[in-house]
Amino acid sequence: MLDALGFPPGGPARRHEGKTVLHELRITDRADAATVRRTATWLRDEPARARRAGVACDEDVAALAVLLDLIATELPHLDAAVRREVVEVCRAALG
C-alpha cells in the first residue's frame, strides 16, 4: 500500500525475523539527522529562547519539535534541496 503512495520500499526500517532493523545510514545522513534532532531537543528544552527567536507560542514550539523529529527520521528520503534547507536552518538555530 505505501509503495503505491511513493514511499521507499520498506521505509527507513524493515522487518527481519520478527524484529525491526534500521537500514544502515551514511555518515552524512546520521550527522544531518543528529543536527535536526538536536534542534528539536533545543526547542523542547528552551521554549522561551525559541520564542525570542520568533516562534509564536509554546504550542508552536512543541509542534515544530515534533515535526523536526519526524523530518530527522525521514531525512534520507527527502528531496535534496529540502534536506539542505532544513539542515542549514537547524544549524543556524543552534548557533
Whether residue 9 lies inside any domain: the answer is no
Average pLDDT taken over every residue of the chain: 81
Would you say residue 45 lies in a domain?
yes
Residues 6+ apart with CB under 8 A from 93: 39, 42, 53
Is the separation of the CB atoms in 72 and 89 below 8 Å? no
How much is the pLDDT for 48?
87
Instruction: Write out the residue range of the structural domain in which residue 34 sits.
Output: 25-94
Instruction: Name the pTM for this structure.
Output: 0.70
What average pLDDT does the segment 35-42 reach? 95
11 found inside a domain: no
Is the pLDDT assigned to residue 32 strictly greater than 70? Answer: yes
Q: Is residue 38 part of a domain?
A: yes
Confidence of residue 50 (pLDDT cuts 50, 70, 90): confident
Q: Has residue 2 been placed in a domain?
A: no
Asked if residue 18 belongs to a domain, the reply is no
Q: How many structural domains compose the chain?
A: 1
Please report whether residue 33 resides in a domain.
yes
Output the CA–CA distances (angstroms, integers) from residue 88 to 28, 36, 80, 93, in the order listed: 14, 9, 12, 9
